[in-house]
Structure 1
């Protein structure tokens, strides 16, 4: 085995800040791993793909700075199998194989600077030449290495990707072992400060908590992105997504789910930061929260989703946050809900491509208003006007959204949404996402109606709830999981090609199965006394993890698709259901709402 002490500068790349290199698009969104140091001094995050490092994010989580950095052997990459190298830190190992060679690469980031390190051991049947291919997207990055430059059959070395002048070299000078030990200690210390539920798989639970914690931006506390990935057309269609979005953004809905999971896990501080981010950075002057924002709070997509404006009302109740500044911000959100035209009609519901009266949205706003009213009451303030509206909307949910004339049995059952507040009318609308034909609103159902139960707005044994469970299972359950709604088109073509919007001649695409919906079903099953079924839902979510223990947005045939992976919401649902199983009830369900209704 031959080692070269000489440090070789393999590549230094500069592109203008804020501009991507020409024709550079992200890699497939099914990331095999995601990592960063716990230290705020290291504003860099890496994702692993199927052949090595895919996107590296710097200086924040809304900015993919590189597309790809991978080991080449005689100019060609290998295929990688990814696994955690340490079950209690975001340290990952890839085993690569190529023509007559195999290698192991272990990845960490330097806790003291913006640099990613990869430690490589290679064995080949013949002398081979090693190099590192590095494709930047934005800003400055450099790669330095101690890999051999001449032909070798055995080699051990390290390469580093740095994002400040000299950062890569400084990380190499410390040595991979020292950096990796400090990196691991940071995560070990973090997990040591948390609890662990009895019900969960230990390794997947720890990984889920770490992935959620790693999803928080280091320059903008409380800003947790949806996923470090760019699925399908969001990665390659610059007309649809001019700036590589939108998953590496902060969605108030996803942020709420992550925050409630972290409260259950024992990291209350991250939830407090999330609430502050919602109210200090995301909330607009009129009180609403935009569809999503960059990690600095700048609105990106600006559609109105009333459930997202209700999210801080719910989260504040879980945290008992009722100081004057917080209460003033919450009041603006609550007043916005009351004043929105035709509320609880929403411009978009939680799947974001339709307007109307949605059971899930109505559940969120009713629960949010009741929770806010409870905070006001504890402060000695009168909250009657918020409760009066919440009660009226709660009484009218069925008249707005439950049909007695639809095509399915048993009736009545909840619809995904109504366009007109008349669920017995055969109003037709286009589902979007490459569905070529309009559809009768009475034929479209959605598991999201369970928000009514999970948030305490309806009883779990309510007859319409039970009817809808049966209808949804008949129409949407497949392979042990659930689709989002009837004829969901957000997914892949029949032969597995990626989703894109391709009008005026659409190519039909098919939304696959969402593991997080299994978690929501499990929370419902706890409320009807089916704990064994709820435990099975937790195992079903766990079964979708890839070899790096990343949980996906969508699955098909028991495996994750090239949808967003890891999806923070899926990991949050796994964490929250695990704690709900331990508690014997959904830990997110606000008692003040359930007791009222």
Structure 2
């Protein structure tokens, strides 16, 4: 989002109780793109790119589409949307008087196709589609250039070139960008702009272009294509590619087929199952969502970037090693249970982590997914000379270490690159573990405070236990087991007997006894630890009371269409006029997963509470299941929801989708075969 788009949104959204002015929301609409480009299609048919983190190319900043009937252009308003089958083809249906416009949007590589088809009993003569497209090559809306190659428009800056073409006869023109007075005016600037009035030089320097494409055939149709390229690619080849992209997909069946072919390739790991069969347990919907957020190298953005000016957050269009490694670990668990065939995903994740590891064995705050380079952040303390490392999120390193250890144990015990990264990670963990068995003072998982957190300690316990089970030399396994025991014992310092729960953190010697959803990580950590040393009865009882009290204490059932778990007690973030903390999908799914893991731990001991937590897991999972009250269009899970059900923040968010899939497969496996938990699964060594 550039300044003029942000200002337009400010003008449109001021005073709305649920909107934060100046954002670039994706809480409605659907995404297409399972590779280098991520394109959002809004219900009104407008498209825009969220592609930069995945490709390094910015693409479409704003757009608008309309249908011309009898010399009058009807700009599309909200239409009905859905995914076609299990593909990433977005279908949007608009009604314009007696005419129905059916459109398909699909993104393949760096090419995006938008196909329009008219339906109706009395179709007009000579209809056409109007498109107004504003690009931002390299994030620029000024100092851009525009070339008109007969039937193709090219918008360029220095390193990025973006193209537009159509499958039918087309007329193209440039648009004059808004001037300062218009940007400062109280009313938003609408596209398309007024006629250029012969000001050729201004339209040639504009990032905004208009395209009028005729609708032809017995059932009038056309396809508009856009292509993002780098300047290093030959212009003649790019022009050939964009023209072929439009011409080869001139009919709807061709667009649908390219989308189906893409989906077949994407779901190729599902061992020959049809796409319809892959829908079992919602697997295909969650995998498609995670695929939308995934770049060619296997890394993922946390969610589409909705706050590019960091006005209300620190941004979302980056790879966090916490989110990404947790997603990778949950996908690995789900794949082991349901045989999803995601081996290539697992390998790409493991090697991405090895490539981005710092020299001290830790991982930075966040990186750009398209190249692994350090991205802007506020927790790069271990990169800053003289830093005391407080501005470091140690749980990220621990989460990656857990994944690498598990990958070596259950996928490929001969991967020396991953083994070296794991042993270096052990050094990084040891360097930040204090003598009392707890990690040093660092930033937390929610990135809004510092201290010595229960969640961070839980991730260390799980990481050390996972390394102690990994196929590495005995000296490292024994060392990791010793450290795991230290953390296990150190957790006693975080117990709050008055509330029968673990504290959020230890802060300057004082316990912050608020309930915190991230402490759900204790369940999985103890399950992993139980594979190398028995969890004692006292700790079992503490885990039972902690999980019961945390789920009950964070559970919110407002007077509205939703219910679920808040992030932590008294969470003030993005509540606007709402008095209570918002429901978060990640904590709701996390609570379900923790209940399922604790149920497995208890069932192995024939504990009476095993069935209780199994029921809790099912109840929480139902809220985030496909069709659950926290799902939105496209079966997306937004990060947060207001009490009236309005989605907010990053949509979709990858982390809860992976949590849901892992939990669903675990409960399904348990219901069918009685398998208790992932810690008891066979390994490559077995």
TM-score (norm 2): 0.68
Q: Which whole-Å deviations, capped at 9, do the CAs of 1:314-340 have from their partners, x for residues lacking one?
A: 112221255443233222222122122
Alignment correspondent of 2:345: 270
For the pair 1:345 / 2:342, whether they are aligned, the reply is: no
Answering whether residue 300 of structure 2 is matched by residue 224 of structure 1, we say yes
1:316 corresponds to: 404
Equivalence for 1:392 = 486
- Tell me which moved more, 129-138 or 445-454: 129-138
Matched-pair contact (CA < 8 Å) for 1:292–1:299: yes
Report the alpha carbon displacement of residue 397 of structure 1 after superposing the two structures with TM. Answer: 0.7
3-state SS, counterpart of residue 172 of structure 1: helix
Structure 1 stretches lacking a partner, 5+ long: 1-19, 406-410, 424-440, 496-508, 593-597
Q: Does residue 332 of the first structure (1) align with residue 424 of the second (2)?
A: yes
Q: Is the 8 A contact 1:550 1:566 kept in 2?
A: yes
Q: What is the aligned partner in structure 1 of residue 549 from structure 2?
A: 471
Once the 2 structures are TM-superposed, how far is the Cα of residue 58 of structure 1 from its aligned partner?
4.5
Question: Contact 1:579–1:587 at 8 Å: present in 2 too?
Answer: no
Structure 1 residues 99, 289: CA separation in 2 closer, same or farther (over 3 Å shift)?
farther
For residues 181 and 100 of structure 1, what CA distance do their matches in structure 2 show? 29
Partner of 1:55 in structure 2? 48
Q: Which moved more, 1:149-158 or 1:559-568?
A: 149-158
Match of 2:364 in 1: 290
Cα distance in 2 for partners of 1:252, 1:339 equals 18
Q: How does 1:2-17 map to 2 (within 5 A)?
A: none
What is the number of residues matched between the two proteins?
518
Contact 1:359 1:449 in 2 (8 A): yes
Per-residue Cα deviation, 1:138-188 (whole angstroms, up to 9, x for no partner): 243232233885999984221111224324322111124334313312312
Cα pair 2:28 2:633 within 8 Å, conserved: no
Q: Does 1:83 align with 2:79?
A: no
Native 8 Å contact 2:547 2:595 kept in 1? no
Specify the alignment match of 1:208 in structure 2: 286
Deviation at 1:569, TM superposition (A): 0.9
CA distance in 2, matches of 1:238, 1:311: 26
Q: Is the 8 A contact 2:566 2:583 kept in 1?
A: yes
Q: Unaligned stretches of 5+ in structure 2?
A: 7-22, 68-72, 138-159, 171-211, 230-237, 380-391, 530-534, 558-562, 600-609, 682-686
CA contact (8 A) 2:350 2:407 kept: no
The alpha-carbon distance between structure 1 residues 194 and 379, as it changes in their structure 2 partners (threshold 3 A), is farther
Shift of residue 351 of structure 1? 1.0
Deviation digits for residues 449-485 of structure 1, max 9, x if unmatched? 2211122256798232233334324432112310000
* Aligned counterpart, 2:24: 27
Alignment of 1:496-515 (within 5 A): 511-515=581-585
Could you say what secondary structure the match of 1:163 adopts? strand
1 CA distance for matches of 2:456 and 2:677? 16
**1:78 & 1:396 partners in 2: Cα distance?**
58
Q: Which stretch of structure 1 is more off in the superposition, 481-490 or 263-272?
A: 263-272
Change (3 A) 1:373 1:204: closer
Deviation of 1:341 after TM superposition, in Å, equals 6.8
Distance 1:150 1:30, change over 3 A: closer
Contact 1:491–1:510 (CA under 8 A) maintained in structure 2? no
In structure 2, the partner of 1:413 is 501
CA shift for structure 1 position 59: 6.4
Q: Distance in 2 between matches of 1:129 and 1:521?
A: 52
- Aligned to 1:23, the other structure's residue is in SS state helix
Taking a change above 3 Å as real, the CA distance of residues 453 and 589 of structure 1, as seen in their structure-2 partners, is farther
Partner residue of 2:632? Answer: 546
Question: Any conservation in 2 of the 1:62–1:294 contact (CA below 8 Å)?
Answer: no
Task: Verify the 8 A CA contact 1:114 1:162 in the aligned structure 2.
Answer: yes
Q: Report the 3-state secondary structure (helix = DSSP H, G, I; strand = E; otherwise coil) of the residue aligned with 1:119.
A: strand
Greater Rg over alpha carbons, structure: 2
The structure-2 alpha-carbon separation of the partners of 1:525 and 1:151, relative to structure 1 and needing over 3 Å to count, comes to closer
The 1:54/1:204 distance shift into structure 2, 3 A limit, reads farther
1:182 maps onto 2:163 in alignment: no
Residue 364 of structure 1 deviates from its aligned partner by 0.7
Q: 1:54 and 1:102, CA in 2 relative to 1: closer, same or farther beyond 3 A?
A: same
1:120 correspondence with 2:129: no
SS at the partner of 1:365?
helix
- The answer to whether the Cα contact below 8 Å between 1:454 and 1:588 also exists between their aligned partners in 2 is no
Identify the residue that residue 307 of structure 1 maps to in structure 2. Answer: 395
Instruction: Please give the secondary structure, in 1, of the residue aligned with 2:222.
Output: strand
Aligned to 1:484: 567
